[in-house]
Structure 1
């Protein structure tokens, strides 16, 4: 699993989420589907690696305030189309999910419970739905390699990637393995330290170190909670994707043609 992680100094959680076996024995192609955190601190070597990927589309799941506060560095030859939805994709204040969940949290157990609750609402946030629609539209067009990212590359990105894998019947073990790779991808301690600054700036120094680590990591039940909330309302991931994200049968066929071997 760790072979799919691209080594970066200033971009957290950068990896290929292709390669997984799907229904009917097909497999997602590699070298087409990438995910990461934000690129503000990208080094010249990081940007050279990004350039080598020949990206044609970047799906930016962040809200307006995040894009303003953490502008992404780009290679000099960068020509990819950047897709985003105006407004905030986290809470109304522009707090990212791990910061939003930190309110009234002190311990690791409280942090875990808060993140688990938050995931049940993520599939129904209007601005996040808008960018998810753009994401699936871009994959259906199949115009070369794409990158999807948010701030930390773990929650909103994790849900988007999980939805794609779920729609193509990737095995649940593989879906969770890809999701949980966040906890070992890149310099996790550096990512946690960066998150701690924002969390404590918003909610104070009383938040325990283990709670910060929990907020900046992922647990299998978080993604399971999002899927469960969807199934409770729509009966299936496929029905949610069609009714809410406009992922029609035609789009599924187009994605299959572009993304699967």
Structure 2
């Protein structure tokens, strides 16, 4: 089954529902994830509008939103969840790139460490809390996205899958669906030029592919950090993100068939 929704100017757009979840199944057409929509075409906007989104969670930093503002469709009325917390100073990713030696090992080391921090960053905690509060309202489809739709978005999708009762294997499988060979063919050259703006030269193809990819060890690093700090993902959801028993029940009623 293909989950990707092909669009011209929005990468990595896909449905992350329709997974077996305990004794039930996640609904299809309710939960979507993607990269930014700054380059969305008019046709893309029509396709996204047809989904009937009631909320969009933009996980990007303020500077990212300003640099690549989202395009919206006519009569746009969805709730937009974002924040400017921790917006001062350089983006950690850009800081890393300025010193990156183009080695895959250096990149993977940075990514693992960043994933260990993601669940506890105040900016993420605020956005994640508000996202789950929206799901508990049971009003309609929701889109979550960041810049590339793979890291911050991947973590929030994984937390949603865990809450729904999706197996760890399926959770990781959905996360790894970002590794689409056709995606590299479309944007690999442009990403190489983007990286060169920070590193001083275009990285080798293997390094560019690594920068575009996700690895199971990344999302597992977040999960392990959560479990080390709170004992379980469920405890983290409740004590950090405010997803108590009543909220879980409301979310389950909304996203499970």
Q: 1:45, 1:206 → 2: CA distance?
A: 32
Residues 184, 209 of structure 2: 8 Å contact kept: no
Aligned Cα root-mean-square deviation (Å) = 1.8
Match among 239, 249, 253 for residue 249 of structure 2: 253
Residues 5, 186 of structure 1: 8 Å contact kept: no
CA 1:187/1:231 → structure 2, altered by over 3 Å: closer, same or farther? same
Displacement of 1:186 in angstroms is 6.0
Match among 91, 95, 99 for residue 94 of structure 1: 91
Q: 1:100, 1:37 → 2: CA distance?
A: 21
Secondary structure of 1:35's partner? strand
CA 1:183/1:156 → structure 2, altered by over 3 Å: closer, same or farther? same
Deviations 1:38-71 (A, max 9, x none): 0011112111110110111001101110110000
Q: Does 1:142 align with 2:138?
A: yes
Q: 1:88, 1:76 → 2: CA distance?
A: 32
Query: Unaligned regions of 5+ residues in structure 1, if any?
Result: none
Residues 35, 153 of structure 1: 8 Å contact kept: yes
CA 1:101/1:122 → structure 2, altered by over 3 Å: closer, same or farther? farther
CA 1:47/1:186 → structure 2, altered by over 3 Å: closer, same or farther? farther
Cross-structure match for 1:235: 231
Displacement of 1:92 in angstroms is 3.9
Secondary structure of 1:183's partner? coil
Cross-structure match for 2:44: 46
Match among 38, 63, 78 for residue 76 of structure 2: 78
Displacement of 1:173 in angstroms is 1.4
Secondary structure of 1:39's partner? coil
Q: TM-score, normalised by structure 1?
A: 0.92
For residues 1-261 of structure 1, the aligned pairs below 5 Å read 1=1, 3-23=2-22, 25-88=23-86, 92-94=89-91, 97=93, 99-102=94-97, 103-184=99-180, 187-205=183-201, 207-261=203-257
- Range 37-46 or range 187-196, more displaced: 187-196
Query: How many residues end up aligned between the 2 structures?
Result: 256
Query: Unaligned regions of 5+ residues in structure 2, if any?
Result: none
Secondary structure of 1:105's partner? coil
CA 1:177/1:100 → structure 2, altered by over 3 Å: closer, same or farther? farther
Deviations 1:57-105 (A, max 9, x none): 001101110110000111113211111122347x94135x4x4553433
Q: TM-score, normalised by structure 2?
A: 0.93
